[in-house]
Amino acid sequence: MGKDEIVAEKITLGLLKRRKQMGRPFAALTCYDYAMAVLLQEAGIECILVGDSLAQVVLGHPTTWQARLDIMLTLTAAVRRGAPQAYLVGDMPFLSYQINTEEAIRHAGRFLQEAGCDAVKFELSGADLDLVKALSRAGIPVMAHLGYKPQYAGRLDSVVQARTADQARQLLVDAEAMVDAGACSILLECVTACAARAVTERVCVPVIGCGSGPYCDGQVLVLHDVLGLPGAQKVKFCREFVSLTDPIRQAVETYCREVRQGTFPDDAHSYHMKPDELPDGVGEPTCRPEPQKPPA
């Protein structure tokens, strides 16, 4: 499926399942604003995740815990307006679903009603099967986030998950149980490639890998890591496909210099009155006043 074909139709769960069955991987990225969403859709992205990582890369916090539900909903809705054809996944922030099932359903439903999401992602474990069942009964398409879970980082011994055979078997059990409970897709973060392959081959739903090797049905990275923007992670599974930091900084430096030198805005970037509309005694300026020199 080429870029023109991708952007010409709405990406649905059914289409992603067909890609899985055909062995054709699909691409996903995080995104947090309208302008970037427009570019991602124009580039042919199939799936966009508005992750709680926005707390770090957009808001400058040290963890994802500071992502609030109202901020997540506002920015997710902006991404939907920029990329109406992408398969859009909203990320349930910390404490938006852990307190009780009723709150989880209500908050997840807002991602569908207010932000236009196609699915909602939850960081889950085998203890959350009843929650997944309740969400599914309520009509919430659940993406089950397994493996490394940033919201629970303080309780994990290691970033990399499923290093041992027992851990890999448990991951597979959890993944199959999530699908049986109604999850429509799975995200595996920082899982060993062998374990991720086993999960991908055994479950019938799309599996998206984040630092989990090449065998998943799709891959997702944080956009800031891909573009080399401030806040990018320096971890093994991330790759900087381009560095935009210097071009952006240089563009702003040039703007600042031209404003200070009085060369911008020039005549071409100014609005003018018609000559016969000028008040008596007022003429269009013919030159810009000399900029004031800073005190010595």
Pick from 2-11, 43-52, 196-205, 284-293: least confident: 284-293
Rounded to the nearest integer, the mean pLDDT of the chain is 93
Contacts of 5 (CB under 8 A, 6+ apart): none
pLDDT at 156: 78
Each residue's pLDDT tens digit, 94-115? 999 999 999 999 999 999 999 9
pLDDT for the residue 1? 46
- Asked if CATH classification 3.20.20.60 holds for the domain at 3-246, the reply, yes or no, is yes
Q: Which pLDDT value is given to residue 291?
A: 58
Rounded (10°) CA dihedral 158, 142, 196, 243: -70
Question: Residues of 84-100 as b/e, b for ≥16 C-beta within 10 angstroms?
Answer: ebbbbbbbbbbebbeee
Asked whether residue 2 carries a pLDDT value surpassing 60, the answer given is: no
In tens, the pLDDT along 236-290 reads: 899 999 999 999 999 999 999 999 999 999 999 999 888 888 777 666 665 555 5
Supply the pLDDT for residue 68.
97
With a cut of 80, say whether residue 80 has pLDDT above it.
yes
Percent of the chain with pLDDT over 90: 84
Distance CA 264, CA 262 (A): 6
pLDDT category of residue 232 using cuts at 50, 70 and 90: confident
pLDDT band at 233 (very low <50, low <70, confident <90, very high): confident
Quick check: 187 pLDDT over 90? Answer: yes
Alpha helix positions (H), the chain = 3-7, 13-22, 34-43, 54-57, 69-82, 101-113, 129-137, 165-181, 193-202, 223-227, 245-261
Q: If you average pLDDT over residues 206-221, what whole number do you get?
A: 98
Q: Return the pLDDT at 165.
A: 98
Residue pair 115/144 in contact (Cβ under 8 Å)? The answer is: no
Structure tokens given for 147 = 């493996």
Longest dimension (CA), the chain: 88
> Distance (Å, rounded) from C-alpha 31 to C-alpha 230?
15
Residue positions annotated with a catalytic role: 189
Q: What number of other Cβ atoms are within 10 A of residue 260's Cβ?
A: 11
Picking from 27, 53, 54, 52, the residue whose alpha carbon sits closest to that of residue 41 is 27
For the ranges 24-28, 119-123, 150-154, 273-277, which has the lowest average pLDDT?
A: 273-277
Q: Which DSSP letter does residue 191 get?
A: B
3-state helix, strand, coil in the chain (%, to 5): 45, 15, 40
pLDDT value for 294? 59
**Is it the case that residue 4 has pLDDT exceeding 60?**
no
